Structure 1
Amino acid sequence: MTELWRLSAAQTANLIRLKQASATEVAEAALSRLAAVNPALNAVVDHNPEDVLAQAAAVDARIAAGASLGPLAGVPVTIKINIDQAGYATSNGLRSKAGLIATENNPVVDNFLRAGAVLLGRTNTPAFSARYFTDNRLHGATLNPRDPRLTPGGSSGGAAAATAAGIGCIGHGNDIGGSVRYPAYACGIHGLRPGLGRVATYNATGPDRSIGFQLMSVQGPLARTVQDVRLGFQAMAGRDTRDPWYFEAPAAPHDPRLAAFCAHPEGIDTAPEVEAALRDAAERLADAGWTVVELDAIPPLKEASRIMHLLWVADAPERIVAAAEAEGDPGAIFAMRGAVDWIGPVGLTEFGDTLTRRAALVREWAAFFETFPVLLMPPSSQLPFEVDADLKNGFAWLTEQQYFMAGPPAIGMPAMTVSTGLSGTAPVGVQILAGRGREEFCLAAGEAIADRGAPPAPIDPVSI
């Protein structure tokens, strides 16, 4: 029999439902896998085995009593350390918040529990969740299980590294500038950034977020199969009134079967391996029966990227930089000071004009998705970065490589990275965008692309 930790979430839930394995057996296997490989990765930085086994025993008790089961009953899931999970620190990678213990759950956690998931552990993030690299002075660096010379991505680098290594079936992450999509890309798995408001979120441990964060930060799943990404999203997307942006999208009206792709919008240069992976994904989608059209231009990405950075830092630049300096984390100081310096001074008029311009971009992108329901484009201009490449090359260099990551959050529509293979030890893949409320279009296209991969599949759990 296949080792339990190797199974997907769908396979695990089905095994438990058919009583071919107990939730406790699955939890024990997950904990053993965590103990075996996490010391080399530092992906999970907080966990309580007794709590994990108690959750699993509760699932088994419901099964024994004949109670109805959630779709993720007994499935091991990890939670990122920047959202509230009762009894655990919401540290966000900060020494100053190491003792900030949550007394209630974020809606994401509650929704996973309602779905029957077993919460396996809490995954690492950079300080302030502010880099495409995962390192902080509280817990240290997380390594990429594909190649420790490469970043595991950020800020959900712990979630991606854990999931790629078989520590849990689904990893929770969040994304304001690529923090789900880039780690999934860097670790060779899949990650969905839902659209604005599709997954409710709220941390009682902190004040309400600034308007920029409210418009762009979302919660999303990472997994080794697209089917598991879908299961994770469906579980996370449960209704919760604590998030005023939350909305339930109507069912997708049809299977789109029409996609566009663009390799060099606005003259953005891409590495040959990155462009080859994009064209490979387009061919796979065409082989699956989709009509795929190559475009020379799409709505603005570079401007959207600048809007994303401006809304992130403009409402309190001095406070942002001061907080990073107080923490003393070199990566956080680089990221926050770099963004503030790159954007420059922002007055109230410019801030208002930016919000107005954002609305125009949303309109332009919405019209685009009326013509082309799905868009394929690169996740990044480059293969996954080497560790600390941002500190070596500078903030301006980083923004030029990451227009594909930083642009989509400004428009608030769903985006997904799908792993398609390896270039040497570096994962490659494609990014898929769709219109508002159309996460299912991303998932449908992603499944068609992933299902046509040539072995060896890059999404197999890494052997360490």
Structure 2
Amino acid sequence: MSRQPWQLTASQIVDAVQHGQLSASEVLESHLQRIDRVNPKVNALTVVFYERAREYAAALDARIALGERVGRLAGVPISIKENIDFTWSPTTEAATFLKDNVAPTDATLVQRLLDADAVPVARGNMPDFGLRWDTDNDLFGRTINPWDAERTPFGSSGGDAVAVATGMSAVGLGNDYGGSLRLPASAAGVCALRTSEGRVPAPVVAAAPVPLSLQKFAVNGPIARSVADLDLAFSVIHGADGRDPLAVTVDHPTGYDGPRRAAILRDPLGWGVEDGMAEAIDRAAGALGDAGWQIEEAEPPLLEDAARLWRRLSSQEMGGLFEPGVLPGPLTDGATQYFRDNVKGTELFDNVDAYVDAWARQALISSLWRQFQSRYPVMIGPVSTADPFPVGFDLSGTPATDELWRRHRLVVAVNFLGLPSVALPTHIGRNGLPYGVQVISPRFGEHIALAAASDVERELGAFTPVDPREPRE
């Protein structure tokens, strides 16, 4: 095999392990060596499971030697975000006061990956409680963008995205409340699947009151270096578990044979899009057209309403974390400052009727989008409409938080409506940064978004794993 195991996709690893070309232990050691070389430069992984992962991989190899049947992710090294319950290490949420918070059992989606014989290799970094579009905290420090150390890797699943992009893990497990899978994937030049509301069970085991916006907007999903790997991981983790009351089981078809019509959103709401992203959308549209899709420029109804209501509802409900006594300790100064600056630019609800009306309007907008998506089962648009921002920009005041929300308008509208979306790279820009798009489909239409994304990927290729660039002098 000409490439090193850490350079392989998850699907390639499974094939090699199941056919005896590589052992799970060989795959793991290659990734551990890669971690030792790369993680000190990017700080993407917070805890590395050297010994436990070795024991796990060795046991898997022993089963294979005995001729036992192994799982669909056999030997695939995975990283798990710091806010997903996994009993090998504390679920810290990247908060100092949760550094000893070990869950009693694994989250369902983690257990399903273990049952499929994936090999946990590490934890992925994040901002504390996911409260920034950047990956930094007081417990583990900052994750570095491997393409440009002066720019954010985005967040909140930034650690897992960077780990996958640099070959330290083959699949990262994260979540997405306001772009937290798609934004870091786009900055890292890899793929991510934001799943539909309810498709994947909760990331934590403990029963506790959950704000309505978290119930409606937040989902769990995979990060990988190929669309096929997203599909593979999703096929393992989706479905109700009898524990999460919001999780549902819906069939996940192989492929898509429905109408092949795609709406292209070159500049959502006409608020502007930078040249690199405009080129990404053109490339993706061209690839879909070459694959036989009918391409039309069209925009879904009430897009601005959806984006604004996401911001208002998320600001209203997440503000409760900053009330005295809610948390056992303080959040990072950066998370606190960002959130407070963001709230200053947001019109909060001043009475219960207005709050209730916002959720009623969500149902209306969802209905109108469903009609739009019956004609356009695929929408192609930007993740962020601009390059990843310079480190620290998000903490420069309310104008910055307003600007970032505007750049991420299509991302958060998707969260507001609980829709699936695949982020994938399209090209490397003249500035040396990766660019990509998101492929949006109707609720429970993950197979549609994955099929369209696969058509784009087949034409445009992939650009990772990547070696971290040295900081400029």
Aligned residue among 412, 430, 433 for 2:418: 412
1:370 is matched with 374
* Distance across 1 between alignment mates of 2:238 and 2:246: 12
Residue 272, structure 1, aligned to residue 275, structure 2:
yes
1:183 is matched with 184
Q: Where does the alignment leave 5 or more consecutive residues of structure 1 unmatched?
A: none
- Taking a change above 3 Å as real, the CA distance of residues 312 and 282 of structure 1, as seen in their structure-2 partners, is same
TM-score by length of 1: 0.95
* Distance across 2 between alignment mates of 1:6 and 1:71: 19
* Distance across 1 between alignment mates of 2:246 and 2:86: 21
2:403 is matched with 397
* Distance across 1 between alignment mates of 2:93 and 2:252: 35
8 Å contact kept, 1:321–1:337: no
- Taking a change above 3 Å as real, the CA distance of residues 45 and 426 of structure 1, as seen in their structure-2 partners, is same
8 Å contact kept, 1:419–1:459: no
2:33 is matched with 32
2:195 is matched with 194
1:345 is displaced (CA, Å) by: 4.1
* Distance across 1 between alignment mates of 2:415 and 2:39: 31
8 Å contact kept, 1:16–1:74: yes
Cα displacement string for residues 41-69 of structure 1 (whole angstroms, at most 9, x for unaligned residues): 10000122111111111211221222221
1:321 is displaced (CA, Å) by: 5.6
Cα displacement string for residues 402-436 of structure 1 (whole angstroms, at most 9, x for unaligned residues): 10221110100101111111112221111110001
1:70 maps to a residue whose letter is: G
Q: Which moved further from structure 2: 60-69 or 356-365?
A: 60-69
Matched position secondary structure for 2:201: coil
2:361 is matched with 357
Write the mapping of 1:35-434 to structure 2, written as runs, cut at 5 A.
35-205=36-206, 207-251=208-252, 254-295=257-298, 297-315=299-317, 317-320=319-322, 322=324, 327-341=330-344, 342-392=346-396, 394-423=400-429, 424-434=431-441
* Distance across 1 between alignment mates of 2:457 and 2:98: 39
Cα displacement string for residues 418-458 of structure 1 (whole angstroms, at most 9, x for unaligned residues): 1111112221111110001110111111111111116xx42
* Distance across 2 between alignment mates of 1:337 and 1:265: 27
8 Å contact kept, 2:222–2:230: yes
- Taking a change above 3 Å as real, the CA distance of residues 202 and 143 of structure 1, as seen in their structure-2 partners, is closer
1:326 is displaced (CA, Å) by: 5.0
* Distance across 2 between alignment mates of 1:32 and 1:40: 14
* Distance across 2 between alignment mates of 1:255 and 1:147: 40
Aligned residue among 452, 460, 471 for 1:445: 452
For these two proteins, the number of residue pairs brought into alignment is 461
Residue 462, structure 1, aligned to residue 467, structure 2:
yes
* Distance across 1 between alignment mates of 2:262 and 2:327: 42
* Distance across 1 between alignment mates of 2:125 and 2:269: 35
Cα displacement string for residues 327-370 of structure 1 (whole angstroms, at most 9, x for unaligned residues): 25232112322343313344211111111000111111111111
8 Å contact kept, 1:151–1:384: yes
* Distance across 2 between alignment mates of 1:223 and 1:143: 18
- Taking a change above 3 Å as real, the CA distance of residues 375 and 89 of structure 1, as seen in their structure-2 partners, is same
* Distance across 2 between alignment mates of 1:394 and 1:150: 15
1:151 maps to a residue whose letter is: T
Q: Which moved further from structure 2: 338-347 or 72-81?
A: 338-347
Q: Which moved further from structure 2: 97-106 or 343-352?
A: 343-352
Matched position secondary structure for 2:220: strand
Q: Percent identity?
A: 33
8 Å contact kept, 1:150–1:385: yes
Q: Which moved further from structure 2: 396-405 or 110-119?
A: 396-405
Cα displacement string for residues 70-97 of structure 1 (whole angstroms, at most 9, x for unaligned residues): 1101100100001110131111110111
1:325 is displaced (CA, Å) by: 11
* Distance across 1 between alignment mates of 2:23 and 2:130: 36
* Distance across 2 between alignment mates of 1:354 and 1:462: 45
Q: Which moved further from structure 2: 77-86 or 236-245?
A: 236-245
* Distance across 1 between alignment mates of 2:465 and 2:282: 23
Matched position secondary structure for 1:179: coil
1:318 is displaced (CA, Å) by: 4.6
1:185 is displaced (CA, Å) by: 0.4
* Distance across 2 between alignment mates of 1:78 and 1:177: 21
- Taking a change above 3 Å as real, the CA distance of residues 398 and 194 of structure 1, as seen in their structure-2 partners, is same
1:111 maps to a residue whose letter is: R
8 Å contact kept, 2:303–2:413: yes
1:287 maps to a residue whose letter is: D
2:319 maps to a residue whose letter is: P
- Taking a change above 3 Å as real, the CA distance of residues 198 and 459 of structure 1, as seen in their structure-2 partners, is same
1:206 is displaced (CA, Å) by: 6.5
- Taking a change above 3 Å as real, the CA distance of residues 357 and 47 of structure 1, as seen in their structure-2 partners, is same
1:251 is displaced (CA, Å) by: 4.8
Q: Which moved further from structure 2: 256-265 or 166-175?
A: 256-265
* Distance across 1 between alignment mates of 2:120 and 2:335: 28
- Taking a change above 3 Å as real, the CA distance of residues 4 and 338 of structure 1, as seen in their structure-2 partners, is same
